[in-house]
Structure 1
Amino acid sequence: MTIGINCGHTASGPGYGAVGIIKESEHTRLVGQALMGLLRSAGVAVVDCTIDSSDTQNEYLAAAVALANRQDLDWFISIHFNASKTHAGHGVEVYTYEGRQYQDALDVCANLEGLGFANRGVKAGSGLYVIRKTKAKSMLIEVCFCDNQEDVSLYQGIGVQGIAGAIYKGIYKEVVLPSVQFPAAEKHDPTREEFIEFVGNIAQRDWIERRLVLPSVVTAQAIKESGFGTSELAVNANALFGIKQNGWTGRVYVKDAVEQNVDGSYRTDKNVLWRAYDSWEQSILDHNTYLSERKIGNQTEPNWKNVIGCGDYILAVQYLQNAQLPYATSKTYEESLIRDYIEKYNLAQYDPVGDEMAPDGYLWVVQAGAYKSLDNAKVLQRGLEKMGVISLIKKYAEQM
């Protein structure tokens, strides 16, 4: 899938955009660049069809179309901001060839309407040069009116990333997250018991191999955050944990986030980017890596360093929430994770049992093999040495 993005108008001179409360040319680039970033993060090939300068308006339009037509695009999208003589116009509208009601165009309008803009609909744009002349399926998006105070205030309150996310989400179903092919070993309609066993076994294996996050804690978080694998993120993005993009270079999924404020009230953050995975197992392993490596701001050590290697689930959960940046904004996360999940479902069964230390003067010895022939014993010893394992050959009575 290849998409061409045109940040509407030139940056200066002929072809410069409307100037209202905000400058169209500046903000088409802000939104367009953010949109390109989202698409590239999702693995979509993006062609930047933006023209920053030109001798004439017509030359600018022709140059943008020429860039688009050199490529075999699936979509050509031009970002604009509207303006009206009375400064009373407001809302979002999208132009397509002959006003074709493409579902993606309708969804872009609906998503921006969901952010508070008036939905002016999908309209005929055959008279617009970039719509008429591009070979690819095209849409020109008028995000809002740059000379209307209500629209501008709403736009600034949402932010560039939120606007780009709404557009991205309008087209993502076609170009960003196609139906994921689950690995055959993963069952994605498990019972609760099957889900616990699936996550618990992977978390247990990872603890043995990397000793990062205690299996009971990992499993409890997966249950709580994904609803036993039934959440939107788990189903559409293979994500069992709500981990935001935060430097992730893989695929992303866009959805709103409900967060709890310091005063206990709740807010909804629009069009948040979440990590998306190829499988639930990848999600579990990345969750553990994320906790072991994530640094916040100027931190020199990982934010959740005390969680890593902690063998007590009560302490590990406390460390999650008592870090400089708590893992979850919910005030009851710590108590709920322990009471409602780890202890209710006996998730400590996946945690390591207490280690038994040999008494003073003794060591635990691993015996690799026993032979009648000394030569055969030496063959094994040489093989072990090639693997970096030091071994001793001793003679014992057979009854041992």
Structure 2
Amino acid sequence: MMNIKKCILPVCLMILSIGITACKKNNGFNTVISGDTTKPLPVSNIKVDNFNGGANITYDLPNSPNLLYVLAKYKINDNTSRETKSSYYTDTVVVDGFAKEKAYEVTLYAVTRANVMSDPVTITVNPKTPVYSAVRPTLVLSADFSGVNVTGLNPLKKEIGIIMLSFNKNTGAMEIEDQYFTKSDKIDYSIRGFKSEERRFGVYVTDKWGNISDTLQKSLTPLFEEAMDKSKFNALNLNNDTPTDFGWAVPYLWDNKLDGNGWHTKFGEPLPFTCSFGIGKTYKLSRFVLYQRIGSGYTYNYGNPKEFSLWGTNSSSPQDIKLPVRAPEGTVIGNWVNLGNFVFPDPPSGNRPGATTSADEDFVKKGVSFKVPFQAPSVKYLRIAVATTWGNVAAAHLMEITPFGVAQ
């Protein structure tokens, strides 16, 4: 267990830096802007509304024209003390980050513009189960292609960290492999890059205050997967697929080149923008990596796909049918089945399309991986169907696709 605890240092350092930044935001409260050193009366008529991991504390402010803020001092665990301030414009202070569902003491002070504190008023809060602690029992570890997958539930949609570990033979310890932070209500995350041999994996949950759950550990054997042999791919050229233009054609999607030409549809064609191709033989797909068109303002812009679906068939005679713009996963139309619906992740910078940063460029240059649902059937032909693009233009374009899976 000691080795696992040592692994949390990067997380704790990150949390410490966040705490320091948060403290700086409150520096204005500490400025002495009055020579009136009269001691204020304490807050009164205090009420507590507990929630998961914290509490809202309401009160009546003292009748003091010199009042600046209310200060709450408390411990969130045995070692960590926190302070929260609320200006005199409000009657509520929020205390949060508590490690457990139990009683905690909170001490309140009224503070003047001369930084004079009132007598303390100590109350008890009883926070409900902290979110990180509530999420932990829902986690399930299972083998995935080239790694492991963790699923779980976060119904309150609060930010948590999912910390993935694996046993390192060289150090003889469980060490951090990845850190994933999310507010999503459903957790479905995989780490990859492992051989198909038994290994000890682990996962725990943390939050922005540095609280840490116990660690779920399990010995698992990652499923085998391989990158498909692109030399065996071939364009299908269905009449219902979107015509291409500008010398960009479907076969450029698997030429292993991220510059030059890719796939580009003709402008003004109806949705969805589609292309179809064979992958040489039947595969059970595990995932695929897409590469956007980048540079010259194209990153997260123009015809780069935003919402799209992947369809497949294992028939030796794929039907030439028009696909719908959207359909539920598993929908069968002719002999084509919807293998999954996907949304390209937002730019890491959070900037709007056309204003992306070098970090956004670096993110898409590496390719973005999309997991194919495990229940999807094996196929030997694929169709990409683009529903929306980042630039909301009447065409779509991509540079490369790299599918992974297991040959059947």
TM-score, length-normalised on structure 1?
A: 0.26
Write 1 or 2 for the structure with the bigger share of strand.
2
Write 1 or 2 for the structure with the bigger share of helix.
1
TM-score, length-normalised on structure 2?
A: 0.26
